[in-house]
């Protein structure tokens, strides 16, 4: 039995794993889907002070207070930043890291650097225009821009998508633990997206890395919503 700890991406919440969770549990595994501070059902906690470090502490708290061990730690999109930092601090609790169309930062990198100056400037402009300079509304159209097109899924997701703290995109990750750097990792690339998407460089680099497994899904970015059975199957393969 594995312990799956699933970490959502920007503008989402733990709710986004709703279709994947029962599939993993039906196979006999434990699953936890925490929501990061300021997002989802914790949107009332969004403030100027929320950073990447806040979100790392969210997950560290879950690990420590629930005493989770032998964890398959999964991060979607921005969640890749979070799980990288968490694994650096709690490598002894991890068995595998899974990056689902996610950022894979190196020491000192922030989302703002990884997305490039044009996209980073767009995030800052959105925060100035509609978020008092510190919170970033999801770039429209959502959730369609993430590959979600069925009417039922769009209706379900749209009211649950919330603003994301700008500082979480700007704060770099700090990595110091060589043990974490040796953990088994898998990168799952969602291929049904416009050419040149921001996760393509990670896919190109990691498909040839010896310690990485590489998988693809013919979906848009939010595969856990549009292809939950395929996502669950890949996670169960790791377990």
- Of 239, 193, 196, 198, residue with least CA distance to 216: 193
Q: Which of 21, 33, 35, 77 is catalytic?
A: 77
What b/e sequence results for 28-57 when a residue is b if at least 16 CB atoms lie within 10 Å of its CB, and e otherwise? ebbbbbbbbbbbbebeeebeeebbbebbbb
Residue with tokens 């998988």: 215
C-beta of residue 66 within 8 angstroms of C-beta of residue 40: no
Tell me, yes or no, if 47 is annotated catalytic.
no
Strand partners, 17: none
Q: How is residue 150 written in tokens?
A: 């069925």
Name the maximum alpha-carbon separation found in the chain: 47
Q: Which ranges of 99-208 does DSSP label H, i.e. alpha helix? A: 111-114, 117-130, 151-157, 166-170, 200-206
Q: Please state, in angstroms and rounded to a whole number, the distance separating the CA atoms of residues 233 and 131.
A: 38
Q: How is residue 36 written in tokens?
A: 């990061």
What residues are labeled active site? Answer: 77
């Amino acid at each position: 039995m594995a312990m799956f700890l699933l970490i959502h991406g920007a503008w989402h919440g733990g709710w986004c794993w709703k279709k994947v969770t029962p599939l993993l549990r039906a196979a006999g595994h434990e699953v936890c889907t925490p929501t990061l501070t300021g997002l989802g059902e914790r949107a009332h906690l969004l403030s100027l002070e929320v950073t990447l470090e806040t979100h790392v502490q969210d997950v560290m708290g879950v690990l420590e207070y629930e005493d989770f061990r032998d964890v398959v730690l999964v991060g979607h999109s921005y969640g890749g930043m979070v799980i990288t930092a968490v694994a650096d601090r709690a490598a002894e609790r991890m068995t595998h890291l899974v990056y689902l169309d996610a950022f894979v930062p190196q020491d000192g990198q922030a989302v703002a650097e990884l997305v490039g100056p044009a996209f980073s400037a767009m995030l800052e402009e959105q925060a100035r225009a509609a978020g008092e300079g510190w919170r970033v509304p999801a770039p429209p159209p959502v959730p369609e821009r993430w590959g979600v097109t069925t009417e039922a899924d769009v209706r379900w997701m749209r009211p649950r998508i919330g603003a994301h703290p700008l500082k979480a995109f700007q704060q770099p990750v700090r990595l110091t633990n060589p043990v974490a750097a040796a953990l088994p990792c898998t990168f799952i690339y969602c291929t049904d997206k416009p050419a040149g998407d921001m996760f393509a460089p990670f896919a190109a680099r990691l498909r040839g890395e010896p310690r990485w497994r590489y998988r693809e899904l013919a979906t848009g970015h939010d595969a856990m919503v549009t292809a939950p059975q395929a996502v669950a199957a890949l996670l169960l393969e790791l377990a």
